[in-house]
Chain A
Amino acid sequence: MQTTFERKDLLGIRELSAGEITHLLDTAETFRDISRREVKKVPTLRGRTVINLFFEPSTRTRTSFEIAAKRLSADAVNVSVSSSSISKGETLLDTARNLEAMAPDCIVIRHSMAGAPHHLARMCKAPIVNAGDGAHEHPTQALLDALTIREHKNRIEGLKIAIIGDILHSRVARSNIYLLTRLGASVSVAGPGTLVPAEFAGLVDNGLSLEGRIEDAIEGSDVVIILRIQRERQDAAFFPSMREYAVHYGLRSEHLKYAAPGAIVLHPGPINRGIEISSEIADGGNSLILDQVTNGLAVRMAVLYLLSRGARSESPETPVEPRKQKRERRGSRV
């Protein structure tokens, strides 16, 4: 198995090998404990600068990256730009050049347009982390989902996983499909025909099936991932009404009887209660929505650590041992 992560950037899951994904998850696991301590901070990335460049409104992902950076002692700077103000003035290219001139060690970017992080990655020497680009990918979300699944099911391989909802507009669905099938799970997706195009079946070579009814997708599933209905993206008529969506594609308790015993429910948040998920499920025993948030921190710490630690050949084994880390640093100064 892969024991290093040698890429400059984390732009998506699609291009990652099973080894790279597992290494990211293993690294995240070692970071999980930090957030459970009284003093939730290690000096691992002291003196490094992480810029969170958010072109799209986000509370949870931005906060998660910011806290992750701070718990590793990096200096985190948040830049929020509305996409519309960019189109009026400075281009992404110029923004990138200006930020690059401030010598950041990592740039985290969220953008409403697919491919914006790739654009940045071509221009910047700093590592780029994709924190969600349009309907393309959201790699850290898939990693945190996988970490949550692994925590509760002890594996990914061989699991049956259902993904329900707006697949067409979902970067979370794409990243999850790549990650889960690459690690050997079988994934069934279901949603309205307008939001689950038939070509989706060709997204990956193996392990993906499309179902018409959510019951069929959930049948025998160990994990059910519910996607958010992105009301802000519903500019065209993809379904007749929220009410009808909730009736036919919203997850309620009665659906879980089709799932495997002990099935868990995930949702990337923020949730629309009573639309894609009932409160009963969101707040019930199967729901791991808050565990996902906690694991999100660990995953983002791992990603920031692996990408911005500098010399890429450095051993990643000791990130959680502040003392040992210090010793190494002293040693290297001699």
Chain B
Amino acid sequence: MKVVIANGYLVDPAQQVNTGKNLLIEDGRVIGLLDRGEAMPEGAHILDATGLIVAPGFIDLHVHLREPGQEYKETIASGIAAAVAGGWTSVCAMPNTDPVNDNPAVTRFIIEQAERAQMANVFPIGALTKGSNGKELAEMGEMKAAGIVAVSDDGRPVPTAGIMRRAMEYARGFDLPVVDHCQDPSLSKGGVMHEGRWSLILGLRGMPAAAEEVDALRDCLLARMTGARVHLAHVSTRGAVEAVRQAKQTGFPVSCEIAPHHWTLTDEALESYDTNMKMSPPLRSREHVEALLEAMRDGTIDAIATDHAPHHADEKALEFDEAPFGITGLETAVGLAFELVHRGVISLERLVEMCATNPARIFSLSDRGTLAKNAHADITILDPECEWVFDVSRSKSKSRNTPFNGRRMTGAAVATIVGGRLVYLHPDYGRITESKYHEASVR
């Protein structure tokens, strides 16, 4: 069936398109762009995107779907239902499941579960080392054949430069990007928040910015040494983005992502010991947030990724020291990104670049992150003016651990199309599916 997404404003940085166009899709692929006046193909179904932004489907490079092993926190089905409700058409699943995704059987299981759920695309990330133990390399080649798009020991920082070097050298042979959660454990040990004035006030053990920066610098140097594609997960400090900026200027193959909470909140938010403010890397101080905003502005930061990390309410109801790290993020990221657009920090085009164009490039997701002819028909439809309040009780995720419940936001993903199928429609935007141009197209 032919579908035309009509009257929208197309933003596709990959094609340098930023104009009013109609988008024609068929059988899960993009057929092409039509000019506004151009005749619609006969019998085409029309989606009316008047006043809306039509963008290539958003790709989240960093989520934790918890399945297999921790289905009480999230399942692949619930996780990707939350993803499409937040505007994400694809998510990349970190391997710290139980068992760890360090072999092709787990990889295949994840892909099959995702196909069964029929929501967002799921691209598994394989472990860097067996069991993410930081010692022996995992079977990257076998996992690549089964469908992984990158390798990482996220959450368990790679302990030594020696192992990281071998992993990069080996991953390079399979053209797999190496994703690192930069955190030197000898500096961050026992830490539960950013080390600084607020950790001293609260009497909580800190993780210094240097713990992240030492490893970020290490990884940049190893990227030069090995020539591997290195992607730094959730950068959160001034020094980390400076390391990436420097590496890019020198021409090393390094990229990085940022999580919305790191630009939205500061460590001061921990004053009430709210465990929904506990994540790793931790919320940083104002000076770091300023540096992150600058790095988003100047292009040092390539991608926005949620680090969606669901945890059960009982786990988050423990003492601050005992509660697990991490918050959910799939349904709030786009709203928080629009806050930056409205504040003039980034342009709408840059938002799309960080949520779609660049993520597809970084993980080599072919025919995604663009609406060029023959690309997958993964589409995120945005309303920059949609005013809404995030209500966690209506979240599609199985978990409720968010610091953003009740936050008023302007700008949202209002419809999500995956492989040509409309998989999410904001309840207030039924007009999108009313094919009032149907007659015109028949004529």
Report A's interface with B, CB cutoff 8 A. Answer: 14, 87, 91-93, 111, 113-116, 118-119, 133-137, 168, 171, 174, 197, 199-200, 202-203, 236
Residues of B within 8 A of A113 (CB): 319-322
Residues of A within 8 A of B202 (CB): 114-115, 136
Give me 15 other A-B pairs in contact (C-beta within 8 A), A199-B195, A200-B200 excluded: A91-B317, A113-B321, A114-B202, A114-B203, A114-B321, A115-B273, A115-B321, A119-B273, A134-B204, A135-B204, A136-B202, A168-B200, A174-B203, A199-B196, A202-B200
CA of A134 to CA of B199, assembled, Å: 12
Residues of A within 8 A of B389 (CB): none
| Contact indicator A93/B317 (Cβ below 8 Å) | yes
| Contact indicator A114/B320 (Cβ below 8 Å) | yes
- Chain B residue at minimum C-beta to C-beta distance from A174: B203
Q: Least Cβ distance of A112 to chain B in Å?
A: 8
Q: Does B440 interact with chain A (Cβ within 8 Å)?
A: no
Q: Least Cβ distance of A132 to chain B in Å?
A: 10
Residues of A within 8 A of B204 (CB): 114-115, 134-136
Q: Least Cβ distance of A109 to chain B in Å?
A: 11
Residues of A within 8 A of B321 (CB): 113-115, 134
| Contact indicator A134/B197 (Cβ below 8 Å) | no
Q: Which of B161-200 contact A (CB under 8 A)?
A: 189, 195-197, 200
Residue among B196, B200, B203 making CB contact with A133, cutoff 8 Å: B203
| Contact indicator A199/B319 (Cβ below 8 Å) | no
- Chain B residue at minimum C-beta to C-beta distance from A178: B201
CA of A174 to CA of B314, assembled, Å: 31
| Contact indicator A118/B197 (Cβ below 8 Å) | no
| Contact indicator A199/B273 (Cβ below 8 Å) | no
Residues of A within 8 A of B225 (CB): none
CA of A129 to CA of B217, assembled, Å: 46
CA of A200 to CA of B200, assembled, Å: 7
Q: Does B117 interact with chain A (Cβ within 8 Å)?
A: no
CA of A136 to CA of B203, assembled, Å: 4
| Contact indicator A111/B197 (Cβ below 8 Å) | no
Question: Beyond A114-B273, A118-B273, is A203–B320 a contact (Cβ under 8 Å)?
Answer: no
| Contact indicator B203/A92 (Cβ below 8 Å) | no
Residue among A114, A197, A203 with most chain B CB within 10 A: A114
| Contact indicator B201/A92 (Cβ below 8 Å) | no
Q: Does B249 interact with chain A (Cβ within 8 Å)?
A: no
Residue-by-residue, is B347-359 near A (CB-CB < 8 Å gives 1, otherwise 0)? 0000000000000
Q: Does B365 interact with chain A (Cβ within 8 Å)?
A: no
Residues of B within 8 A of A115 (CB): 202-204, 273, 319-321
